[in-house]
Amino acid sequence: MDDTRTGRAPTDETVIITGGTSGIGRATAVALAGAGARIVLAVRNTAKGRAVASTLPGTPGTHRVRALDLARLETVEAFAASIGEPIAILVNNAGVESKDLQRTADGHELQFGTNHLGHFLLTTLLLPHITDRVVTVASQAERMARLDLTDLDWYRRTYNGGRAYADSKAANLLFTSELDRRLLAAGSRVRALAAHPGLVKTAIYERPAGARPNLWDRLVPVLGQEPEDGALPSLMAATADLPGDTFVGPQRMMHMRGGAEVIGRSKRVQDPDIAARLWSISEDMTAVDARR
Beta strands 64-67 and 38-43 are parallel
Beta strands 261-262 and 247-249 are antiparallel
* SS3 (DSSP) at 136: strand
Determine phi and psi for 48, rounding to 5 degrees.
-65, -40
Whole-angstrom distance between the N-terminal and C-terminal Cα of the chain? 29
* Rounded CA separation 62/187 (Å): 32
Q: Across the chain, which distance is largest between two alpha carbons, in Å?
A: 55
The alpha carbons of the chain give a radius of gyration, in whole angstroms, of: 18
Kindly name the residue from 155, 159, 165, 205 that is annotated as catalytic: 165
Q: Which amino acid appears at position 44 of this protein?
A: R
159 is annotated as an active-site residue: no
Cα→Cα distances 111→30, 168, 288, Å? 26, 6, 19
User: Is residue 192 within a helix (H) or strand (E), and if so which, with residue range?
Assistant: strand 191-195
Determine phi and psi for 7, rounding to 5 degrees.
-95, 160
Q: Which residues of 245-269 are buried (b: 16+ CB within 10 A; e: fewer)?
A: bbbbbbeeeebbbeebeebebeeeb
Q: Which of the residues are catalytic?
A: 165
